[in-house]
Amino acid sequence: MDDAGTENIGTLVVLGATGDLTSRLLLPGLGRLLTEQPRRRIRLIGADLAPLETRQWTATVREAFASAEAAGPAVDHALDHTDYLVTDASSARDLGRVLAAATGIPALYFALPPAVTAEAVGALHQVDLPTGTVLALEKPFGTDRDSAAALNRRLTSLVDEDQVFRVDHFLGKSTVLNILGLRFTNYLFEPLLNRDHVAKVEIVYDEQLGLENRAGYYDRAGAMVDMIQSHLLQVMALITMDAPQSVRAADLRTAKAEALRAVRPFAGDPVSASRRARYTAGTVGGRPLPAYVEEPGVDAGRGTETLAEITLESTTWRWSGVPFVLRSGKALGEARREIAITFRPVPQLPAGLDGRLEPTVLRICLGPDAMVLELNVNGPGDPFVLDRGRLEAQFGAGRLNPYGEVLHGILERDPSLSIRAEGAEHAWEVVDRFREAWRSGSVPLEEYPAGSAGPPTWRS
């Protein structure tokens, strides 16, 4: 037991241990966490189909920890207490064997594609789960609303909802969490964040990265599921939700789920409120990229988008009528990762003031982490001519990286930063409306050269 009287996780089991996610994100996140918390003691079990030996797995863990500059007694303990078990995650017998090798309360982290996760959850029904077992599921959670609802039912017939962690690493980003601090601990912005004062909100995550050999996963997800369903809708919920009583799991997750329940396509029309596109060959940051459809493993016939933009509305008294533009894409010329809140123009410019009147914009930048307030000011030259001023604050890197933060929640059994069952279903409901319209062919799949700003017709 820790000071708060909660029991910590004794063993972290990673199902899908040989996958890219594990070595690139999970293990480095764990390394950072163990470095920050040198007194933590965990046993780590890697489980996957590949016939690895514990020696090889330990070398992978060591390398990933080194990449995160992880060191100290908790790191050494984890390295000394790690094993690899060849495991078919859909086999109840194999899962039983993995659980028998765990000490203390286990957390099973499903770093697996949604279909395999669903099979593994099914198989767990034939296994005796130790009391308190935590189930952590990587995104995407299901493949649409119905499959997410079915998975939720299967999960909650195994363990309590508070033992289920639907992972979104964006909720572990310190600047995303800072939305709560910014909104609910300052009197300055919160009274203005509503339909009377805000003209539009953009939540944008444009990346320069291309497919990065992830066709097996990405070609079935596309930008809409990979980013908008899994991450950006959660960010929107943090912007639109009402002030929770506390930031503890129950209150925070209720406020977010309520906020998501109110989200609809703008003006109720998923066709006019969405655009999609796919990149052709080009150069990004000096690096040549082949067309998306030429990447190994891509099936051009699937028509997967690498850039998605949807406009949403929160049908609440506070936000009704304000467009929320959510957009994310790969292989774009510039990495624009921010939440931009554009305020309404002032009703009238006092006579005698000249210059271009632009709206006030509050930008919460997600890498490099910063906050910028763009304002109209009187210029340094002629005091009656408007100029643009910027108030800017840079934020340091968070204590942990996002996966470190996610794992901290799991090991502490604190689900504040994970998505609750109905929250996941509401997010799918929104996205399914657009995907249905896309499947019917009503929204054309446009093209943009890798390294550009998107399809030329999108520039507005």
Maximum distance among all alpha carbons in the chain?
Answer: 80
The minimum distance between CB 94 and ligand BG6, in angstroms, equals: 27
Total binding residues for ligand BG6 by CB under 6 A? 5
Q: How far is the CB of 186 from ligand BG6 (least distance, A)?
A: 26
Which of left, alpha, beta for 186 (phi over 0: left; psi -120 to 50: alpha)?
beta
231 is catalytic: yes
In the complex with ligand BG6, which residue's Cβ is closer, 18 or 90?
Answer: 18
Nearer to ligand BG6 by C-beta: 86 or 335? 335
For the chain, the 3-state helix, strand and coil shares in percent, each to the nearest 5, are 40, 25, 40
| 45 versus 236: smaller Cβ distance to ligand BG6 | 236
Please say which residue, 123 or 407, places its beta carbon nearer to ligand BG6.
Answer: 407
Separation of first and last alpha carbons in the chain = 56
- Three-state secondary structure call for residue 252: helix
Phi/psi at 390 (5° precision): -130, 125
> Quick one: 10 or 114, whose CB is closer to ligand BG6?
114
Nearer to ligand BG6, 94 or 207 (CB): 207
User: Smallest gap, in angstroms, from Cβ of residue 422 to ligand BG6?
Assistant: 22
- Whole-angstrom Cα distance, residue 416 to residue 346? 39
Helix (H) or strand (E) holding 448: strand 445-449
Nearer to ligand BG6, 83 or 369 (CB): 369
**Does residue 207 interact with ligand BG6 by CB under 6 A?**
yes
Pick out residues in 61-90 that bind ligand BG6 (CB under 6 A): none
Note whether 397 binds ligand BG6 by CB under 6 A.
Answer: no
At its nearest, how many Å lie between ligand BG6 and the CB of residue 230? 6
Q: Choose which of 209, 243, 271, 377 interacts with ligand BG6 (CB under 6 A).
A: 209
| Pick 155 or 227: Cβ nearer ligand BG6 | 227
CA–CA separation, 146 and 431 (whole Å) = 12
Q: Give exposure, 278-316, as e/b (b: 16+ Cβ within 10 Å).
A: bbbebebeeeebbbbbebeebeeeeebbbbbbbbbbbeb
Give min distance, CB of 114 to ligand BG6, in A: 13
Whether the Cβ atoms of residue 325 and residue 232 lie closer than 8 Å to each other: no
For residue 173, the minimal CB distance to ligand BG6 (Å) is 7
Phi, psi of 444 (to 5 degrees): -65, 150
Cα(200)–Cα(380) distance, integer angstroms: 30
Written as one letter, the residue type at 373 is L
Binders of ligand BG6 in range 222-251 (CB under 6 A): 226, 230
Where are the extended beta strands (E) located within 330-409?
A: 337-343, 361-365, 370-378, 386-394
Residue 170: CB minimum distance to ligand BG6, A:
7
Nearer to ligand BG6, 11 or 230 (CB): 230
Torsion on CA atoms 278, 283, 284, 287, rounded to nearest 10: 130
Q: Is 235 left (phi over 0), alpha (psi -120 to 50) or beta?
A: alpha
Query: Secondary structure of 34-82 in the HEC alphabet?
Result: HHHCCCCCCEEEEEECCCCCHHHHHHHHHHHHHHCCCCCHHHHHHHHCE
Torsion region of 453: left, alpha or beta (phi above 0 gives left; psi -120 to 50 gives alpha): alpha
Least distance to ligand BG6, CB of residue 295, Å = 14
- Of the residues 169, 231, 408, 426, which is catalytic? 231
Burial class (CB in 10 A: 0-12, 13-18, 19+), 321: exposed
Query: What mask of x and - would describe binding to ligand BG6 in positions 160 to 199, judged by CB under 6 A?
Result: ----------------------------------------
Minimum Å distance from CB 202 to ligand BG6?
Answer: 17
> Is the omega angle on the peptide bond into residue 449 within 30 degrees of 0, that is, cis?
no
User: Which chain residues interact with ligand BG6 by CB under 6 A?
Assistant: 207, 209, 226, 230, 402
Residues belonging to the active site: 231
